[in-house]
Amino acid sequence: MYWIALLLTVLAVLSPFAAQATPTQMMLLNLDCQNGDEDACDALLLSGQTFGGYFTAPHEPQSVADHLTALRPDCDAGNMKACGILGDLVLLQNPMDNPEGYALLARACDGGEALACARLAYLTQLLPYSVGPNYISFYEEQAEVCATGNPSACTTQARLNALLPDVLPDEEIWRGQLETACDADLGRACVILSYMLSEDGLWEYKQLDPGLEASSRSNARRALSYARKACDLGNPVGCWNAGLAYDDGNGARTDWERAQHHYVLACQGGYDPGCEEINYESFWRASDPLRTLESACGRGDFSACHLASEKRHAPISITDMSDADRERMTRYSSEMTEICEMGSLRACSVAGSLFRGLGRLEEAERYAAAACALGDQHGCLAAGNIWKLDRTDPGHHEQAIGYYQMACDLENWAACNNLGDSYRRGLGVEANTGRATRLFTLACTNGLALGCRNAANLIGETDIDKALPFRERACELHPPYCSEWD
């Protein structure tokens, strides 16, 4: 526990971004709020990450209105964090044709609030579907302010020039003004340029300037340069764009380590796709030396933290645990919760399983459910096991069905097998041997020995010949099963 706390302290010093809530922390807050924790509900509202998210906690209109009233004086006084949260809440009330929210996020982003830059990028994706007369008026206002030499207004006008259907696109606006603003070190302008010149952005901007496609290799190099500059200026979307460029070899040679570094910075700045990329495609591997993993962890790479913690503590067995085993599992679970909150879905799932082994079921379900809600199959499996195997009320088995189904849909074959067992035994669902057989077969086909064994036993109740291939496969995958049918 000391090790991870020390590395997180180092991270806080080294990170160019102020600490932002990660998707895992937000989901934990969301679950706590749903369970009646009013402080969690309040923290969720004041996170600056509510609008457009995947969170389902209730928001009382009066509570939102109270926060809006309280935040406005702070924003007016120059508190950029307050402006960013204010923009998020304004959009939460009304996301359609509401340029006030855009203006607040842009002001906060240009004032150095990284999270506001991340939220503005999300809002920009929605703009083609929410543009109305208010945005047209807003565009005209920004054009007037830009004429006075204001780089922030010029950047807003330039981005909207390519998005508003009733505005005449003008290259001097949507490109020239961005280049001038980026030269003046406005990170938001550099981000838009990095997108505009990337492969993903060309489809949008080539309609305004067909010549952009003519020199795509040169464009890619310039896009990476703009992205790196935006990242250095504190815009996490620039870090994400740079990570993609190094990942795909656009504008530079493919460099997984540099890509991972930029994804980490994007995640730390509050841009969720950076966290997602690390969760699903990490640069690091379990075979990497512990010292290397710990060094990467100290720079904020939670995938390295997870692997390093595994190297020190795993494997863990809950069978016949000694006091020393329990103490080691407790330390391991504490580290996993820290790493989970850094953004690691797998660490959340492992924490759930470890807490389950320790008999701390409420904590187990909290972390497993958070991981599952964010799409981690292992978290769904762990949550299903808790509700099926550790709860005494038969009604809880219905909860397990939902979790197992989500995990099975995510191709967790153990969950498919466990779901099949529920159908076979009628736990939380009406008994259905046909459905059970299909699920056992699915698990077996994908290499799960227990699925083959269960399929063999269930099919063998009515047809021994049809069960033989499943017996052979179970025996091949797990030799101890052979003795069951000798």
Would you place residue 61 in the very low, low, confident or very high pLDDT band (cuts 50, 70, 90)? confident
pLDDT (0 to 100) of residue 54: 66
58: pLDDT confidence band, cut at 50, 70 and 90? confident
Indicate the average pLDDT of the chain: 90
Confidence category of residue 323, pLDDT binned at 50, 70, 90? confident
Check residues 461 and 210 and name the one with the higher pLDDT.
Answer: 461
- Average pLDDT (85-110) is 94
Which of 15-24, 27-36, 272-281 comes out lowest in average pLDDT? 15-24
Q: Residue 1 pLDDT more than 80?
A: no
Can you give the three-state secondary structure of the chain, one letter per residue? CHHHHHHHHHHHHHCCCCCCCCHHHHHHHHHHHHCCCHHHHHHHHCCCCCCCCCCCCCCCHHHHHHHHHHHHHHHHCCCHHHHHHHHHHHHHHCCCCCHHHHHHHHHHHHCCCHHHHHHHHHHHHHHHHHCCHHHHHHHHHHHHHHCCCCHHHHHHHHHHHCCCCCCCCCHHHHHHHHHHHHHCCCHHHHHHHHHHCCHHHHHHHCCCCHHHHHHHHHHHHHHHHHHHHHHHCCCHHHHHHHHHHHHHCCCCCCCHHHHHHHHHHHHHCCCHHHHHHHHHCCCCCCCCCHHHHHHHHHCCCHHHHHHHHHHHHCCCCCCCCCHHHHHHHHHHHHHHHHHHHHCCHHHHHHHHHHHHHCCCHHHHHHHHHHHHHCCCHHHHHHHHHHHHHHCCCCCHHHHHHHHHHHHHHCCCHHHHHHHHHHHHHCCCCCCCHHHHHHHHHHHHHCCCHHHHHHHHHHHHCCCHHHHHHHHHHHHHHCHHHHHHHC
Residue 84, pLDDT > 60, answer yes
Percent of the chain with pLDDT over 70: 95
Average pLDDT score over residue span 62-87? 94
Residue with the bigger pLDDT between 283 and 340: it is: 340
CA–CA separation, 382 and 292 (whole Å): 30
Binned at pLDDT 50, 70 and 90, residue 10 comes out as: very low
Question: 164-210: per-residue pLDDT in tens?
Answer: 888 888 889 999 999 999 999 999 999 999 999 988 888 888 878 77
Q: Is the pLDDT at 8 greater than 80, yes or no? A: no
pLDDT tens digits, 252-269: 999 999 999 999 999 999
Tell whether pTM > 0.75. yes
Confidence of residue 12 (pLDDT cuts 50, 70, 90): very low
Give the pLDDT mean for 143-149: 96
What is residue 176's predicted lDDT score, i.e. its pLDDT? 94
pLDDT of residue 474: 95
Q: Among 140-149, 199-208, 253-262, 273-282, whose mean pLDDT is lowest?
A: 199-208
pLDDT bucket at 78, cuts 50 / 70 / 90: very high
| pLDDT tens digits along 404-419 | 999 999 999 999 999 9
Q: How confident is the model at residue 214 (pLDDT cuts 50, 70, 90)?
A: low
